[in-house]
């Protein structure tokens, strides 16, 4: 199932939504809704920590996606 995220002034607004729900609400995908790729939380190495518990929404290779920030201990 495809996901899209609403954007405003080049920044994400709210959380991603399923394509079917957007189509049901708007009958099309509005221009301010951009494709989104969900990324599962990675498994940390022995000496790694997450910087925060939740991902941030960022553009990676031209597509909005979850980015999990981590650091070494």
pLDDT per position as a tens digit, 50-73: 999 999 999 999 999 999 999 999
Whether pLDDT at 15 is above 90: yes
What is the distance between the alpha carbons of residues 63 and 14, in angstroms, rounded to a whole number? 16
Which residues are bridge partners to 35 per DSSP? Answer: 4
Predicted local distance difference test score (pLDDT) of residue 11 = 96
pLDDT digits (tens, 9 = 90+) for 17-47: 999 999 999 999 999 999 999 999 999 999 9
Structure tokens at 55: 């991902």
């Amino acid at each position: 199932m495809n996901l899209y995220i609403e954007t405003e002034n080049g920044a994400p607004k709210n959380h991603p939504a399923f394509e079917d729900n957007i189509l049901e609400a708007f009958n099309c995908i509005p221009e301010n809704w951009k494709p989104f790729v969900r990324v599962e939380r990675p498994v940390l190495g022995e000496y790694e920590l997450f910087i925060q518990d939740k991902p941030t929404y960022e553009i990676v290779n031209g597509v909005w996606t979850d980015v999990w920030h981590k650091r070494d201990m």
